[in-house]
Amino acid sequence: MSGLRESQKAGRRKRILKAARRHFMERGYEAATIEAIAETAEVSAVTVFNHYGTKGGVLLALVGESDSILIGKINEILGDPPSDPLEAVLRFSQFICRHALEYLHKPVWRHVIATAVIEGSSEFGRGYAALDRELVRMLASLLDNQKDRGPLPADYPSATAAGVLYNLHNTRFVEFMSDDEMSLEKFDDLVRTDIAYVMREPLSS
């Protein structure tokens, strides 16, 4: 019986998050309401509150769901990265940005980023910071892989470089999400220039 209850609970949570993502994407975070999300998910507003507490809690859960999918995608890069270090790091950055844009629109990500900064000590802020740390760790693993394969020297400071490169990516990510006119191609060009400078690689003509 407990297994059935857990299955039903998981099903409700899945429907709520699916409905929330739809409303955030179509109406924007501010205009979306718990009541509308509940109606689409075919549950009561009380059920949504019981599972997530607030609309911000629903957004945090959506970001967490997005993160789990993202980490799985990045593991694909770690398993078979490009042989060129610059291209490997660029693909890492591209995966993050493209996944984010597929999952939620720019206006919603602006709210996510602002909330993570304003409420840095909250569960939301801590969860967002934890993802950043995990992505830095994964980027360091990618650089270690490049050392093992030979493109990077054995004494290359992977951990330090990963922190610097990820911070550069993050700056461009915020810039991209803040500008509705910036294209993915422009984002890629900016990140490539940053990576090339830090890794001391010649820029393509």
**Domain CATH code at residue 166:** 1.10.357.10
What is the pLDDT at residue 205? 37
The rounded mean pLDDT for the chain is: 89
pLDDT of residue 1: 57
Domain boundary among 16, 32, 53: 53
pLDDT band for position 76 (50/70/90)? Answer: confident
The answer on 83 and 182 residing in a single domain is: yes
Residues 195 and 96 in one domain: yes
Q: How confident is the model at residue 53 (pLDDT cuts 50, 70, 90)?
A: confident
Among 12, 28, 53, the domain-final residue is 53
Query: Do 93 and 18 belong together in one domain?
Result: no
Which structural domain range is residue 6 located in? 1-53
Last residue of a domain, one of 53, 74, 96: 53
Query: Is 165 contained in some domain?
Result: yes
Report, as an integer, the average pLDDT of 45-70.
Answer: 88
205 within domain boundaries: no
- Write out the chain in H/E/C secondary structure: CHHHHHHHHHHHHHHHHHHHHHHHHHHCCCCCCHHHHHHHHCCCHHHHHHHHCCHHHHHHHHHHHHHHHHHHHHHHHHHCCCCCHHHHHHHHHHHHHHHHHHHCCHHHHHHHHHHHHHCCCCHHHHHHHHHHHHHHHHHHHHHHHHHHHCCCCCCCCHHHHHHHHHHHHHHHHHHHHHCCCCCHHHHHHHHHHHHHHHHCCCCCC
CATH of the domain at 22: 1.10.10.60
Q: What is the pTM of this model?
A: 0.83
Average the pLDDT over each of 40-54, 114-128, 148-162, 177-191 and give the range with the smallest value. Answer: 114-128
Task: Please report the pLDDT score of residue 10 as a whole number.
Answer: 82
Read off the pLDDT band of 2 (50, 70, 90).
Answer: low
Residues 170 and 86 in one domain: yes
Residues 31 and 94 in one domain: no
Over residues 169-191, mean pLDDT: 97
Average pLDDT of the segment spanning 103-110: 93
User: Do 130 and 70 belong to one domain?
Assistant: yes
Whether 125 is in a domain gets the answer yes
Q: Are residues 102 and 158 in the same domain?
A: yes
The answer to whether position 120 is within a domain reads yes
Query: Is 204 contained in some domain?
Result: no
Query: Would you place residue 175 in the very low, low, confident or very high pLDDT band (cuts 50, 70, 90)?
Result: very high
pLDDT at 203 over 60: no
Contacts of 71 (CB under 8 A, 6+ apart): 134, 138
Q: What confidence category does residue 43 fall into, taking pLDDT thresholds of 50, 70 and 90?
A: very high
Number of domains in the chain: 2
Which of residues 77 and 58 earns the better pLDDT score? 58
* pLDDT confidence of residue 169: 96
Residues 118 and 191 in one domain: yes
- 189 in any annotated domain: yes
